[in-house]
């Protein structure tokens, strides 16, 4: 599994090298004219910063979710008991039934479970696509990639997931070759990038992570999610609105885990301009899977922060 | 005028040195560059991305056709927002934040549960001076759906957000008897029982919002947003919500901002823009 | 050209629901609410006003059937009356809430029409706005002694005050017009030609003029010197394409005494998107 830095041998001569890039990419990148995804104002702002666009670069990867592979554990209908042991030490929280009642229908045991295998697969797809984009940039001798656009989506009807990265590779005028031979990258471009640099923040990389939490509902969650309050089981009285503790905690955990994974990739740097996307998939009453993606720019402060003077408020007349 | 090219080179060179030792906690923030700059200019700084989520159950049978207000659903909605805000404040407290700005509120009302998710950036004053006073700040971090930009504007004017003000009210649409319906079918007439029902529900939601503002210690509510509409799964039930940010004057008096009038010479079109005459949407 | 301005027919609204009364009472104890954005809030303060509360009025109105001749273009006076009355009811209730709060006026008024599935031929007319009060102690109520209403945003309100004008009220004129269907012979006769269709021209011209004249009349009642921000809306609502409601909406203003000099704006060219 390639890591997010997509390391490349810095000693190799510049120019498209045989990696796992398609042949058309190699041909395109050999051309002399530059291409860029920048709008005109962004282009002007980049030249201002001394950034010279080199080429439009992209990376792509399609992943299939191996639900039934060995050790995957994500099989519908399979008892959570077996899954718990193979969870790989991620987040998990158990819930036990408060009623003293045992039956085939009554789910006495429930669990919120992080699914590291799903997260690993997603990370693999994401970082492969990212690494390919960086590879294209490195082959061009670029120092960084700006204006990155990343898209994760399902491919038509196949149910496979595609990861697509697009960005503009640039060279810093008079700048050093990229650290470790790996170009830096950022979602920003144009004036926003200028403001970030002026404020003293240097982009390092685009970072993202997925946290996937599975909710195996126990009896209380199931009843509450089906609106069955006041069942009269063992003195359970309904007075006032009932919080569904298990599902609420699972949602919180998904977001907190995504943040935690990203923080591990930051290594002391800061994350700016983060976006959180949450997708929920309901499987049956109370059972659901919560996928939370957190993406943002990893930046490093390279000079002391000069606060800008208080901006002046205006009213437009036209 | 800073030398941008030199700055860019300096930045690129800084990457060659190793990353700073991770004593720095690695803040995560969802503020845009502009917002981060404005926040720093106002003397505050972002701490961390925080969230609060609550799912509250709605009992079976609540949405069946009845009369008047659906108090169980209203209570559930209000409780969900309350609980989510509580969880958000707890996360904010963990990183020693004084409040959360730019909160994005996502509400989903389903047949048997209501889900409220809040995500925002926890902030603190860089020098530790909170205009609300130290004790107030520690006791109750504020939650606000104002953007960081609006937050700094308010600060300048001497105001501060104190909390999220929220109120919800669900109501059944009233019924007319067949006889009344027939009689009214040719008349231009106000349907007073409908008016009464919808009006009451809206007022109820806003009243609840006002109460929550007062509870948070606010003097006023800004950016009130009112949503209304039938439930997708039960079209005879209509839900009204009203929410905004509760604010309080913390300076001696309101500080006037004295804006300057500007006239941007950006018009690319020579002709007069008659679109506005045609009622093509009011920009707010 | 008949002019059925139904002044006498509009029910006087002294019928706010008890929830409204309770909520307004709470507002009178010092809490204010407003749907102004932070920008607008600050500009309203700059203009010397303070927001009092979010006010609204609504009315669910059943629009009756009106018979019409298929081949004749005519105003459907009953429908005009209905649309007008319904909106007036909503606006009056909103004004009443504002009066209750002791306001000088209401800014940012929005007039919406909602259709609910369970009401055939009925629609809900809602008016929303933020009630404001002047901080200098003067009364800014209009010539009829009621709080002014205006659909101006906070920014527009501030700019208007800078020019030495004060809003008097939201004025509107409405006209529901039925456009005749053309006879087959007529349609065939002009097929393929570049020609003005005098019936349509006449009809639509008349309809728009009616709407605008009525709006002007309302401004006259308020003794206004002019109307700004006029909007002309044309909607078929739920009547089908041959029946259109023309609505003219604007804010009537008067010039305050004394010369007010407008500070010279700075011209800029913005270089970002």
What b/e string do you get for B98-116 counting C-beta neighbours within 10 Å, with b at 16 or more? bbbbbbebebebeebbbbb
Q: Tell me the average pLDDT across C56-73.
A: 76
Residues of C whose CB is below 8 A from A41: 271-273
Interatomic CA distance for residues C36 and B248, integer angstroms: 16
B155, containing H or E segment: helix B148-157
Domain contains B19 = no
Closest partner residue to C34 (CB to CB) among B187, B218, B224 is: B224
pLDDT attached to residue B282? 42
Largest CA distance in chain A: 78
Which residue range forms the structural domain that includes residue B145?
Answer: 27-277
pLDDT top residue among C181 and C222: C222
Q: Tell me the per-residue pLDDT of C211-239, one tens digit each, with 9 for 90 and over.
A: 888 998 999 888 888 888 888 888 877 77
Say yes or no: ipTM exceeds 0.95.
no
Q: Tell me the average pLDDT across A212-216.
A: 91
Is B121 within 8 Å of B52 (Cβ atoms)? no
CA distance to partner chain A, nearest, from residue B82 (Å): 11
CA distance to partner chain B, nearest, from residue C192 (Å): 30
- Domain C18-183+196-255, second-level architecture: 2-Layer Sandwich (3.30)
Does residue A255 surpass a pLDDT of 60?
yes
Is A208 within 8 Å of A293 (Cβ atoms)? yes
> What DSSP assignment string belongs to chain A?
---TT----TTSPSS--SSS--HHHHHHHT-SS------HHHHHHHHHHTEEEEEEEEEEEEE---TTSTT----TT--HHHHHHTSTT--EEEEE--SS---SSS--EEEEEE-HHHHHHHHHHHHHHHHHHHHHHHHTT-SEEEEEEEEEEEETTTTEEEEEEEEEEEEETTPPPPGGG--EE-S--HHHHHHHHHTTEEEEEEEEEEEEEEEE--HHHHHHHTT-----GGG----SPEE-HHHHHHHHHHHHHHHHHHHHHHTT-EEEEEEEEEEEEEEETTEEEEEEEEEEEEEEE-S---PPPPPPPEEE--
Interatomic CA distance for residues A262 and A209, integer angstroms: 6
Inter-chain contact C153–B282, Cβ cutoff 8 Å? yes
Interatomic CA distance for residues C155 and B211, integer angstroms: 29
Q: Tell me the per-residue pLDDT of A149-165, one tens digit each, with 9 for 90 and over.
A: 888 887 766 667 889 89
Q: How confident is the model at residue C263 (pLDDT cuts 50, 70, 90)?
A: low
Q: Is B268 on the interface with A (CB under 8 A)?
A: no
Residues of C whose CB is below 8 A from B243: none
Closest partner residue to A317 (CB to CB) among C43, C265, C273 is: C265
Q: How confident is the model at residue B257 (pLDDT cuts 50, 70, 90)?
A: confident
Residue ranges of the domains in chain C? Answer: 18-183+196-255
Inter-chain contact B202–C22, Cβ cutoff 8 Å? no
Inter-chain contact C43–A315, Cβ cutoff 8 Å? yes
Q: Tell me the per-residue pLDDT of A77-130, one tens digit each, with 9 for 90 and over.
A: 444 444 444 455 678 888 888 877 777 777 888 889 998 888 888 999 999 999
Could you tell me the CA-to-CA distances from A57 to A38, A113, A163 in Å, in that order? 12, 38, 14
3-state secondary structure at position B231: strand
Query: To which CATH superfamily is domain A33-64+119-199 assigned?
Result: Hypothetical protein apc22750. Chain B (3.30.110.70)
Q: How confident is the model at residue C11 (pLDDT cuts 50, 70, 90)?
A: very low
pLDDT attached to residue A8? 41
CA A131 to chain CA mean position, Å = 14
Q: Tell me the per-residue pLDDT of B149-183, one tens digit each, with 9 for 90 and over.
A: 889 889 989 999 999 999 999 988 777 666 666 66
Domain contains B282 = no
Q: How confident is the model at residue A137 (pLDDT cuts 50, 70, 90)?
A: very high
What are the strands, taking DSSP E only, across chain C? 32-33, 49-62, 74-75, 105-114, 122-134, 148-149, 165-178, 226-235, 243-255, 266-268
Provide the edge-to-edge strand list for the sheet that holds B220-231: B159-172, B234-249, B220-231, C32-33
Q: How confident is the model at residue B209 (pLDDT cuts 50, 70, 90)?
A: very high
The secondary structure of C165-188, three-state, reads: EEEEEEEEEEEEEECCCCCHHHHH
Residues of B whose CB is below 8 A from A5: none
Residue ranges of the domains in chain A? Answer: 33-64+119-199, 80-114+210-300
pLDDT attached to residue B14? 86
Q: Tell me the average pLDDT across B190-205.
A: 82
Q: How many domains does chain B have?
A: 1
> What DSSP assignment string belongs to C224-242?
-SEEEEEEEEEE-TTS-TT
pTM: 0.79
Could you tell me the CA-to-CA distances from A306 to A310, B2, B153 in Å, in that order? 12, 11, 20
Domain contains B15 = no
CA distance to partner chain B, nearest, from residue C122 (Å): 8
Q: Tell me the average pLDDT across A164-189.
A: 90
Domain contains B2 = no
pLDDT attached to residue B270? 55
Q: Which residues contact C53 (CB under 8 A, 6 or more apart)?
A: C24, C27, C32, C33, C34, C97, C101, C103, C130, C131
> Interhelix angle for B192-215 vs B71-94, to 10°?
20
Domain contains B183 = yes
Domain contains B12 = no
Q: Supply the mean pLDDT for chain B.
A: 83
Inter-chain contact A318–B267, Cβ cutoff 8 Å? yes
Q: Tell me the average pLDDT across C23-37.
A: 80
Chain C: touching chains (3 or more CB pairs < 8 Å): A, B
Q: How confident is the model at residue A311 (pLDDT cuts 50, 70, 90)?
A: confident
Q: Is A15 on the interface with C (CB under 8 A)?
A: no
Does residue C130 surpass a pLDDT of 60?
yes
pLDDT top residue among A230 and C134: C134
Interatomic CA distance for residues A149 and A189, integer angstroms: 11
Most confidently modeled range among A52-56, A248-252, A311-315, C251-255: A248-252
Q: Is A313 on the interface with C (CB under 8 A)?
A: yes
pLDDT attached to residue A75? 46
Closest partner residue to C272 (CB to CB) among A41, A316, A317 is: A41
pLDDT attached to residue B35? 86
Q: Tell me the per-residue pLDDT of B232-245, one tens digit each, with 9 for 90 and over.
A: 888 788 889 999 99
User: What chain C residue is nearest to B256 in terms of C-alpha separation?
Assistant: C46
Percentage of residues in chain C with pLDDT exceeding 70?
79
B65, containing H or E segment: none
Does residue B189 surpass a pLDDT of 50?
yes
Interatomic CA distance for residues B216 and B236, integer angstroms: 34
Closest partner residue to A315 (CB to CB) among C159, C271, C273 is: C159
């Amino acid at each position: 599994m390639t890591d997010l830095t997509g390391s490349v041998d810095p000693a190799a001569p510049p120019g498209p090298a045989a990696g796992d890039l398609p042949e058309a990419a190699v041909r395109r990148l050999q051309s002399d004219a530059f291409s860029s995804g920048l709008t005109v104002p962004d282009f002007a702002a980049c030249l201002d910063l001394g950034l010279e666009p080199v080429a439009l670069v992209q990376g792509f990867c399609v992943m299939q979710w191996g639900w039934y592979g060995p050790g995957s554990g994500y099989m519908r209908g399979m008892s959570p008991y077996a899954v718990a042991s193979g969870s790989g030490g991620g987040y998990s929280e158990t819930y036990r039934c408060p009623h003293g009642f045992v039956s085939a229908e009554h789910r006495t045991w429930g669990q919120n479970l992080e699914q590291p295998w799903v997260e690993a697969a997603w990370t693999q797809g994401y970082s492969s696509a990212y690494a390919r984009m960086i590879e294209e940039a490195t082959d061009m001798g670029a120092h960084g990639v700006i204006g990155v656009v990343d898209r994760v989506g399902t491919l038509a009807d196949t149910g496979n997931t595609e990861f697509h990265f697009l960005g503009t590779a640039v060279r810093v005028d008079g700048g050093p070759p990229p650290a470790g031979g790996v170009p830096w990258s950022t979602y920003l471009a144009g004036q926003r990038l200028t403001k970030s640099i002026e404020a003293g923040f240097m982009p390092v990389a685009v970072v993202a992570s997925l946290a996937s939490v599975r909710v195996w509902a126990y009896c209380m969650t199931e009843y509450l999610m089906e609106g069955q309050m006041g069942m009269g089981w063992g003195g359970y009285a309904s007075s006032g609105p009932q919080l569904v503790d298990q599902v609420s905690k699972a949602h919180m955990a998904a977001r907190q885990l995504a943040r935690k994974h990203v923080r591990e990739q930051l290594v002391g740097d800061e994350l700016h301009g983060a976006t959180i996307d949450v997708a929920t998939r309901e499987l049956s009453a109370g059972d659901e899977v919560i996928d939370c993606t957190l993406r943002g720019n990893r930046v490093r402060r390279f000079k002391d922060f000069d606060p800008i003077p208080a901006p002046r408020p205006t009213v437009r007349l036209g | 005028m800073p030398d941008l090219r030199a700055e860019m080179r300096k930045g690129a060179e800084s990457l060659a040195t190793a990353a700073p030792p991770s004593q720095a906690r690695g803040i995560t923030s969802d503020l845009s560059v502009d917002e981060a700059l404005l926040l720093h200019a106002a003397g505050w700084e972002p701490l961390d991305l925080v969230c609060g989520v609550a799912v509250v159950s709605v009992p079976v049978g609540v949405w069946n056709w009845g009369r008047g207000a659906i108090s169980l659903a209203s209570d559930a909605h209000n409780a969900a927002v309350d609980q989510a805000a509580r969880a958000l404040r707890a996360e904010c407290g963990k990183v020693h934040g004084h409040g959360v700005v730019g909160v994005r509120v996502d509400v989903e009302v389903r047949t048997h549960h209501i889900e409220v998710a809040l995500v925002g950036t926890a902030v603190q004053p860089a020098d530790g001076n909170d205009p609300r006073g130290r004790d107030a700040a520690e006791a109750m971090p504020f939650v606000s759906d104002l953007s960081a930009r609006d937050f700094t504007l308010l600060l300048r004017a001497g105001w501060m957000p104190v909390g999220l003000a929220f109120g919800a009210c669900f109501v059944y649409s009233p019924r007319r008897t067949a006889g009344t319906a027939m009689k009214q079918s040719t008349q231009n007439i106000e349907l007073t029982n409908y008016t009464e029902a919808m009006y009451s529900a809206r007022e109820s939601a806003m009243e609840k919002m006002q109460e929550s503002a007062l509870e948070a210690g606010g003097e006023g509510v800004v950016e009130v947003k009112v949503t209304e509409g039938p439930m997708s799964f039960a079209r005879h039930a209509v839900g009204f919500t009203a929410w905004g940010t509760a604010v309080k004057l913390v300076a001696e008096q309101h500080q006037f901002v004295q804006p300057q009038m500007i006239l941007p010479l950006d018009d690319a079109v020579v002709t007069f823009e008659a679109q506005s005459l045609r009622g093509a949407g009011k920009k707010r | 050209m008949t002019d059925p301005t139904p002044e006498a027919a509009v029910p006087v609204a002294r019928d706010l629901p008890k929830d409204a009364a309770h909520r307004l009472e709470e507002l009178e104890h010092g809490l204010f609410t407003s749907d102004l954005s932070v920008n607008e809030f600050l500009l309203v303060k700059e203009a010397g006003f303070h927001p009092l509360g979010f006010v609204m009025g609504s009315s669910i109105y059943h629009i009756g059937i009106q018979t019409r001749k298929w081949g004749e273009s005519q105003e459907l006076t009953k429908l005009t009356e209905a649309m007008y009355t319904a909106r007036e009811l909503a606006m009056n209730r909103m004004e009443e809430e504002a009066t209750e709060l002791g306001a000088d006026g209401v800014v940012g008024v929005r007039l919406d029409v909602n259709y609910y599935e369970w009401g055939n031929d009925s629609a809900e007319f809602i008016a929303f706005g933020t009630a404001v009060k002047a901080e200098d102690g003067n009364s800014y109520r209009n010539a009829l002694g009621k709080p002014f209403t205006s659909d101006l945003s906070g920014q527009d309100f501030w700019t208007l005050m800078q020019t030495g004008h004060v809003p008097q009220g939201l004025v509107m004129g409405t006209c529901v017009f039925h456009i005749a269907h053309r006879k087959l012979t007529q349609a065939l006769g002009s097929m393929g030609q570049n020609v003005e269709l005098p019936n349509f021209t006449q009809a639509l011209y008349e309809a728009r003029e009616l709407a605008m004249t009525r709006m002007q009349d309302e401004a006259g009642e308020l003794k206004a010197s002019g109307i700004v921000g006029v909007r002309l809306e044309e909607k078929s609502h739920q009547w089908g394409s041959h029946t259109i409601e023309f609505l003219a909406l604007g804010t009537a203003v008067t010039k305050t005494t004394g010369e007010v000099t407008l500070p010279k704006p700075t011209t800029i060219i913005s270089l970002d998107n």
